[in-house]
Structure 1
Amino acid sequence: MRLDSSTFPVVKIVFDASNQGGPEDAFLIFERLLARKQPFVLLHEKAVDENNHAHSHEERKQASIWMKKHKAALRAYVRGMIQVEPSAAKRLALKPFAVTFGKAWGYPLLVVESKDRAWALARDVLDEQVSDVAHF
């Protein structure tokens, strides 16, 4: 997993086999994003590739420990993860996983059909947060 924060508060997330620094580096970058104490969304622009998305037991264990340690910050600052999936069938199949994902990570997994829709949704999600704060 790689994180690209050059378009913050939209942070691009890339899952690929050529992860330069390994999961530890990705978690360090994620921690730096959380330390900013500003709302952001994660955006995964590529369709889900089931063949290239398997994580080892050890990677899942590390992620779980990391999530528990950063649970409050994740819930406070990550407004959601937006996944682009052009296939209507795959979007439908992701619905049950999205529920589990949201419970585990503390923020929703939102699945859309295109990059354009993903960027529009990212703006909406972030604008919604600004509106919520403005109403207090």
Structure 2
Amino acid sequence: MFIQDTQNFPVVKISYESTDGISLEENIARFEALLDRQQPFVLVGEGPTPTQQASHEERKFIATWVKQKRQDLAEFVKALVHIEADEQARLLMQKFANNYVKFAGYPMFVVTDQQQAQQIVRSVLKH
């Protein structure tokens, strides 16, 4: 996932592919800058996930970083909210979301539209 827009912090828009050509390392630096704020935030993504998998080296790099930052991730990232209108894609994403918290340290919610996403954002930021 790539940090796309932080202008509406604590709501942070993400994309599942690099939309501005940044490297994985640059994206991690963006993520760390968000964690360095030491304030709760929510990640919001929309639409299809990438069809191409990350390389083994990229997955290993990400997994190592997540392990190192797990405490901060659990404390400051209140949720990842994924908006998916397509029912079949939503069901597939929900299966992924069920195990996501074990990896990332924060929950993932899969919703059908922007309205549902905003309800979850408000709810998780309130707590």
Normalised by the length of structure 2, the TM-score is 0.90
Q: Point out where structure 2 has 5 or more consecutive residues left out of the alignment.
A: none
3-state SS, counterpart of residue 44 of structure 1: strand
Structure 1 ranges of 4+ moved more than 3 A: none
The residue aligned with 2:10 is 9
For normalisation by structure 1, the TM-score amounts to 0.84
Partner of 1:29: 30
Matched, 1:48 2:48: yes
Partners of 1:100 and 1:91 lie apart in 2 by: 15
Aligned: 1:39 with 2:71:
no
1:73 is matched with which residue?
72
The letter for the 2-side match of 1:83 is H
String of CA shifts for 1:4-48, please: whole Å, max 9, x gaps.
Answer: 211100000112254422111111111111111111000002x12
Gapped regions of structure 1 (runs ≥ 5) = 130-136
Amino acid at match of 2:31: F
* Matched residues, number: 126
Which is higher, the Rg of structure 1 or of structure 2? Answer: 1
> RMSD value over aligned CA atoms?
1.5
1:57 positional shift: 1.0
Q: Alpha carbons of 1:15 and 1:94: their partners in 2 closer, same or farther (altered >3 Å)?
A: closer
Q: Distance in 1 between matches of 2:55 and 2:65?
A: 15
